[in-house]
A and B are shown apart, each in its own frame.
Chain A
């Protein structure tokens, strides 16, 4: 066991980890932050996406030790300071971009990374960027809509494409 420290959602945290402790386990079991989900064991589903130093990362595919000292942001850190939903989160609620909610944390984190890089993505760009996030419930329609709406685009006509 070794000790790792990092900043998670603006707070300095540390904990004892083994070499094999994944960032996802460190967050879920070590810190009790279970908003980050684990949906697969082959690094494909994206339910576990968090931001490490501002970049989207599959937390199930990085060792906690390897990101010691990093700044990590998870779904628990996405709301506004007063606890209200951020624009992106609110857009997911407004446009029914989630059903069972299991893929949602990863979806929101990936979408946030996209909007940071590309503030007004096209439909194609949104779909392409979310390639590593699997959702079984929504058929993606309302997820894409939520992300485009969060970027300030008018999505009212999209449903009747």
Chain B
């Protein structure tokens, strides 16, 4: 019988009620008294020198309240990169300033160089159009292609950076010679050149921000579409505008999806605050979707050469990669960590590989900044590995299932120190592979392939076995790796006098359902109904601290902080109970919401204890403070390591090249599962995005740096018709050993494991159909690409 409440139950989401009745409150839904509208003037050239911006006409237009240009912000700070990465030669990365509004040069189409504040959006747009006409931007040649950017030192995105390279990173540099030697000695070497296609995150709620300022107190408030309000507060306050943190509240209300793109601080947030201060009125900006396309941080965009050295029977001996990673025009907050420590450290996958070396050069181009997008670095690593392993099988005539089995780490090898710096705590990769094979009825594939053939379609099957490092944390570890912030988390559990509970958490839910799941955990631990627990998130004035939600960290890191705070509540409750029951503290046990004296029937309910903490008539006031509220900060000992095996089946229409995913099976190990319904939903969403990357989505800038896929007319988003029902299993569980919940995180798995499974399936289908000349097709494996590959 599945549980119907508490840990492990598929409790229904309480947040759904407001979303299903139109009562959610997203940033753009708030209408504040006397609110003014901000509209940005954005560059329509990719690269240009800003000349005179004549504000005379625009300022005089109806409703216009203020105009800002880069000049107004030239003396405040830039929006910083969160991670310092050193190049192979030990020199630090190049870190150009990222201003609130472009100053001197514009560096990508959509780069804002001015902003108009007016009474209404329409008036601000009219004036912005005028201002664009009255601005002189001298167009410079655009730097779009990464290889050309590196080769041509005369053309620079940032004048002070000659070769447009941010850094040239080697991981692990000291192992390089040994890897080269192992590769040289390998009986067989497989090489693939891969493009990991640039994606545009497309959270369905466009970014929006409202700035407020109270001249009477000097307090600022920023309401914004953020995955991590505290980080945004830190960046805006300490780095950009120089506001004391105690004078700035950041609120992230209901947020309509993030997928990475709303982790980062963007200039629009600083602008609305500055404008609110100048005008003494709230100022709101809401992105139009076309602005989102141009300015949300994009994802992926790697060009990789991967080599794999192996024995003739498929034992992997060495892996070496060389990657160009696009960072776009400026360094977004996590952009330097994504292609390095979230990518290079995963390059041995779930396999025992003795020698691995990763080289990544990050390149500035006149395109939108690129940063972490669902999976962030790990999908790129997984794709490279799983594609090259498939190619190895093909070249050597080996079975892809057998080859993976041969190379996977075995359960007795944990904890496992990988050659690229990670310490895997637990796992059982055979179990998930076996499970996937069973779910997919691999044995019945030939029969299904024959049926497809009878319908004129080529059927193929693709496998990927993958691992990720999640629960992005250990501050000491990320500190060594270059992070400039800590990655712990925090929670406060406040028991109210009447026994109900408010929990303030540093994680932020923008679809993940924390309000439900976190409440399940607290309710279970305290033996009270879930409905007695409320989760408060997304407001720096209410929450102790937090580093937000991304990297599948909410439960593993913040959930643990919350659990520790609950433990403190129980510990204090025991003290109170001991006093009330006139027993020794050591004799008090807590179970099913009751504090009892062991071996007796003397007990106090949780509610009674809470009441006495707030009405301390009979209370150990000499030794114990009244009240029942505890805060815990938690910094884990390690990353968590979810892993799994995915199997995809596709049908290919040879006439049109169209690929249809006809079955998708996921066997995941997420450690312990708190709410199965939500875990499944997370996997579905991730796989949907992974299929999108594999088959549909791409981002094209032309040679002048114009974004050609800047709307849903040209950027193919996966729709309901493009994906199948997914078959999801999470029964293989090796609980994480270093957090008390034993959880690993599930938010990114689907997006990490699925793209190579899809592409491997397509290549398999084509080979089965006799198109054996097709070695590889870059993502998205679109109809025209498949057709061209077949007929090429």
Direct contact of A and B (CB under 8 A): yes
**Which residues on B sit within 8 Å (CB–CB) of A20?**
122
In the complex, identify which listed stretch (B271-279, B587-595, B718-726) lies at the interface while the others stay far away: B718-726
B21 touches A98 (CB 8 A): no
**Which residues on B sit within 8 Å (CB–CB) of A65?**
none
- For residue A76, CB closer than 8 A to chain B, the reply is yes
B22 touches A44 (CB 8 A): no
Q: Which of A35-78 contact B (CB under 8 A)?
A: 35-42, 44-45, 47, 74-76, 78
A131 touches B720 (CB 8 A): yes
**Which residues on A sit within 8 Å (CB–CB) of B713?**
42, 44
Q: With A96-B13, A138-B684, A161-B725 in contact, is A79–B289 under 8 Å at CB?
A: no
- For residue A151, CB closer than 8 A to chain B, the reply is no
- For residue B19, CB closer than 8 A to chain A, the reply is yes
A100 touches B725 (CB 8 A): no
Q: Which of A108-130 contact B (CB under 8 A)?
A: 108, 123, 126-128, 130
In this complex, which of B206, B259, B725 has the most chain A Cβ atoms within 10 angstroms of its Cβ?
B725
Partner of B289, one of A41, A103, A104, A138: A41
A138 touches B685 (CB 8 A): yes
Chain B, residue nearest A27 (CB) = B22
- For residue B173, CB closer than 8 A to chain A, the reply is no
**Which residues on A sit within 8 Å (CB–CB) of B255?**
100
**Which residues on A sit within 8 Å (CB–CB) of B22?**
33-36, 74-76, 78, 105
Chain A, residue nearest B289 (CB) = A40
- For residue A139, CB closer than 8 A to chain B, the reply is yes
Q: Give Cα A134 to B289, complex, Å.
A: 13
B289 touches A45 (CB 8 A): yes
- Chain A, interface size: which category? 35 or more
Partner of A93, one of B20, B680, B712, B717: B20
Q: Give a binary string over A7-48; 1 marks a CB under 8 Å from any B CB, 0 the rest.
A: 000000000000010000000110011111111111011010
Q: Give Cα A79 to B685, complex, Å.
A: 27
Chain A, residue nearest B683 (CB) = A139
Q: Does more than half of chain A's interface fall in helix, strand or loop, or is it mixed? A: loop
**Which residues on A sit within 8 Å (CB–CB) of B684?**
138-142
- For residue A149, CB closer than 8 A to chain B, the reply is no
Chain A min CB distance to B440 (Å):
11
Q: Give a binary string over B10-53; 1 marks a CB under 8 Å from any A CB, 0 the rest.
A: 00110111111111111011010000000000000000000000
Chain B min CB distance to A43 (Å):
9
B16 touches A159 (CB 8 A): no
**Which residues on A sit within 8 Å (CB–CB) of B19?**
98, 101, 104
B203 touches A100 (CB 8 A): yes
**Which residues on B sit within 8 Å (CB–CB) of A85?**
17, 20-21
B688 touches A98 (CB 8 A): no
B31 touches A45 (CB 8 A): no
Chain B min CB distance to A27 (Å):
10
**Which residues on B sit within 8 Å (CB–CB) of A145?**
725
**Which residues on B sit within 8 Å (CB–CB) of A41?**
288-290, 711
- For residue B584, CB closer than 8 A to chain A, the reply is no
Partner of A76, one of B21, B202, B678, B717: B21
B21 touches A137 (CB 8 A): no
Partner of B727, one of A76, A127, A159: A159
- For residue B686, CB closer than 8 A to chain A, the reply is yes
Chain B min CB distance to A115 (Å):
15
**Which residues on A sit within 8 Å (CB–CB) of B396?**
none
A100 touches B20 (CB 8 A): no
**Which residues on A sit within 8 Å (CB–CB) of B620?**
none
Chain A min CB distance to B723 (Å):
6
- For residue B205, CB closer than 8 A to chain A, the reply is yes
B681 touches A142 (CB 8 A): yes
Chain B, residue nearest A106 (CB) = B204
Chain A, residue nearest B509 (CB) = A100
Chain B min CB distance to A108 (Å):
7
B20 touches A104 (CB 8 A): yes
Partner of B724, one of A32, A104, A137, A161: A161
Q: Give Cα A40 to B717, complex, Å.
A: 13
- For residue B687, CB closer than 8 A to chain A, the reply is yes
**Which residues on B sit within 8 Å (CB–CB) of A101?**
15-16, 18-20, 24, 254, 256, 511
B12 touches A99 (CB 8 A): no
Chain B min CB distance to A153 (Å):
13
Chain B, residue nearest A134 (CB) = B717
B17 touches A93 (CB 8 A): yes
Partner of A103, one of B16, B204, B513, B680: B204
- For residue B172, CB closer than 8 A to chain A, the reply is no
- For residue B705, CB closer than 8 A to chain A, the reply is no
Chain B, residue nearest A39 (CB) = B204
Q: With A136-B259, A139-B750 in contact, is A127–B728 under 8 Å at CB?
A: no
Chain B, residue nearest A34 (CB) = B29
Chain B min CB distance to A140 (Å):
4
B689 touches A139 (CB 8 A): yes
Q: Which of B209-267 contact A (CB under 8 A)?
A: 254-257, 259
Chain A, residue nearest B678 (CB) = A96
Q: Give Cα A96 to B122, complex, Å.
A: 38
Q: Give a binary string over B701-721; 1 marks a CB under 8 Å from any A CB, 0 the rest.
A: 000000000011100011111
A44 touches B712 (CB 8 A): yes
- For residue B76, CB closer than 8 A to chain A, the reply is no
- For residue B537, CB closer than 8 A to chain A, the reply is no
Q: Give Cα A29 to B764, complex, Å.
A: 53
B31 touches A40 (CB 8 A): no
- For residue B86, CB closer than 8 A to chain A, the reply is no
A79 touches B21 (CB 8 A): yes
Q: Give Cα A42 to B288, complex, Å.
A: 10
Q: With A137-B511, A140-B723 in contact, is A102–B16 under 8 Å at CB?
A: no
Chain A min CB distance to B569 (Å):
30
Partner of A138, one of B681, B691, B728: B681
Q: Give Cα A39 to B206, complex, Å.
A: 6
B687 touches A139 (CB 8 A): yes
B680 touches A102 (CB 8 A): no
- For residue B320, CB closer than 8 A to chain A, the reply is no
B721 touches A131 (CB 8 A): yes
- For residue B575, CB closer than 8 A to chain A, the reply is no
Partner of B513, one of A34, A99, A140: A99
Q: With A136-B203, A139-B686 in contact, is A159–B680 under 8 Å at CB?
A: yes
Chain B min CB distance to A30 (Å):
11
Chain A, residue nearest B257 (CB) = A100
Q: Give Cα A53 to B685, complex, Å.
A: 34
Q: Give Cα A147 to B477, complex, Å.
A: 46
Q: With A101-B16, A142-B684 in contact, is A127–B205 under 8 Å at CB?
A: no
**Which residues on B sit within 8 Å (CB–CB) of A44?**
711-713
Chain A, residue nearest B288 (CB) = A41
Partner of A94, one of B12, B681, B721: B12
B720 touches A127 (CB 8 A): yes
Chain A min CB distance to B635 (Å):
28
**Which residues on B sit within 8 Å (CB–CB) of A33?**
22
- A–B pairs, 19, beta carbons within 8 Å: A34-B25, A38-B28, A41-B289, A41-B711, A76-B21, A76-B22, A76-B23, A89-B20, A96-B13, A96-B678, A98-B20, A101-B254, A101-B511, A102-B204, A103-B204, A134-B204, A135-B720, A139-B689, A140-B684
Q: Which residues of B contact A (CB under 8 A)?
A: 12-13, 15-26, 28-29, 31, 122, 201-206, 254-257, 259, 288-290, 510-513, 663, 677-678, 680-681, 684-689, 691, 711-713, 717-721, 723-728, 750
Contacts beyond the supplied A75-B21, A139-B723, A140-B719: 9 A-B pairs with Cβ under 8 Å: A34-B26, A42-B289, A85-B20, A98-B19, A127-B719, A128-B720, A134-B204, A137-B681, A141-B681
Q: 7 tightest CB-CB pairs across the interface, nearest first?
A: A35-B22, A139-B688, A102-B256, A101-B19, A100-B511, A99-B511, A44-B712
